Amino acid sequence: MAQHPFTTQNEATTRSRCRGVGFVLAWLEAQPGVTWQERWASTGAESLPKEGWLDLARQWFIRTEGLVLRDSQLSPGLLMLICRDVIRPTSAWLLSRTSQHLARAMASARDSEGFERLGTQAASDKVAAPHALEIADRWHLLQNLSSAVEKTCHQHRGCLRKRLEEEQLPDEVEVPDVPVVLLLPPELPRTSMVERTRHRHADVHRMLERGWTISAIGRHLGLDRKTVRKFKYTDLDVLLSCAQDRRPNGVLEPFKPYLNARFTNGITSGTQLFQEIRDRGYRGSVQVVRKHLAALKTGTAEPVRVAVPSPRKITSWIMRPREKLSESEVEQLDQVRLACPDIARACDLARVFQDLVRNRRGHLLLEWIRQAESDGHGPMRSFAGFLRQDLDAVTAGLTHTWSSGMVEGHVNRVKTLKRAIYGRASFRLLRIRILTRP
């Protein structure tokens, strides 16, 4: 343990690796077998999904030692044992790992020349055709940009609702000589989604205070790590607002201002109000109207929510050329830009990138990436980082007239044929249909 890879220039990392080796060996020592490899195989860890071996080790320490260990205390130990050839997991298990530290540590500790040859073989396409030019597909670039813009709009939808509610935009529903009265509930409506959001936020932060990692919390609660990070870094009020936004408005929502005004004016008959709104275009049932009136009588009715454009609709306005938008769409997009500076910045970046794609200005791509990384919101910065990882191919795609559209078309055709006869015909028929030109 006094040699590489156990020892590093960072003393804290060295101590962490040595402690991790001790923890893993203590766990394996209690397993049946003669060698460490036999004991590792007897745990059945390789048959578990993802990082299931961590749960086995933690449960053993809780039962026998009364210790609650984190992932960061166990993972370095197994990593070192694999690098020193003490444990030899199967190739399938190694390939399922997503940690970059494992590949780098194994390359430096076991067979650096072999890993170098493997990397050369992986890049055989460039070796076989050194003069080949890799070009990114422009359609997929715009699709990924659209996804980044939509994520930005979704994260800042609360800004739009706040701005519209402050302005108190007039409602288009006809109201009979009485102002619309918005009945505010004493507290946030306790829908199932709101309550689930509250409980998840409390559970995540309680586990974080106990020292749990994001991966461990995700496995325990059955959540993706991205979801855990969202609950960790996002305020509860924002999460609750998003939970409310996901609730469907229903067919009655456009008519609630009218019902509230008539109810305030003393008209409480569900049948009469149902007839009135049906003449104005309502197509729902009378039971929905009576349920809303009952909520008004008990004071638990939800407030009439200001209509906010959906993130997908805002994204469509941003991604389409401005000259192809109607006057109302241009006006609504301008209101969105005024309400949220982050969405306005994402709109500007998206418009500039679209100009680079359509006018083949690949020489300006690096400057756009720097602007997005410095001024853009989270999703736009992630998109810029994605472009930087394959900068040469993206630059070529924004410079040359060549396109992989024909290849993408053939791929789509093959997928369509495969799905059409899946479970209904043999591979021989599939091969004939693919090779036969349409």
Q: How far is the C-alpha of 139 from the C-alpha of 122, rounded, in Å? A: 26
Looking at every residue in the chain, the average pLDDT score rounds to 79
DSSP state of 169: P
pLDDT level of residue 279 (50, 70, 90 thresholds)? confident
The two three-digit tokens of residue 292, written as one number:
């809303």
Q: Is the separation of the CB atoms in 16 and 27 below 8 Å? A: no
Cα torsion 223, 228, 230, 231: sign: positive
Tell me phi and psi for residue 223, to 5 degrees: -115, 155
pLDDT level of residue 301 (50, 70, 90 thresholds)? low
For residue range 223-248, what is the model confidence (pLDDT) as tens digits?
888 889 889 888 887 787 666 544 44
pLDDT level of residue 317 (50, 70, 90 thresholds)? very high
Q: How far is the C-alpha of 336 from the C-alpha of 149, rounded, in Å? A: 13
Cα torsion 115, 117, 121, 126: sign: positive
Which of helix, strand or coil describes residue 121?
helix
Residue 291 CB coordination number (10 Å): 14
Q: Return the minimum-mean-pLDDT range out of 114-118, 235-239, 244-248, 308-312.
A: 244-248
Tell me phi and psi for residue 75, to 5 degrees: -60, -45
Instruction: Write the secondary structure of 311-379 as one string of H (helix), E (strand) and C (coil).
Output: HHHHHHHHHCCHHHCCHHHHHHHHHHHHHCHHHHHHHHHHHHHHHHHHCCCHHHHHHHHHHHHHHCCHH
- Is the pLDDT at 2 greater than 60? The verdict is no
For residue range 57-77, what is the model confidence (pLDDT) as tens digits?
888 888 888 877 877 788 888
Percent of the chain with pLDDT over 90: 9
- Is the pLDDT at 146 greater than 80? The verdict is yes
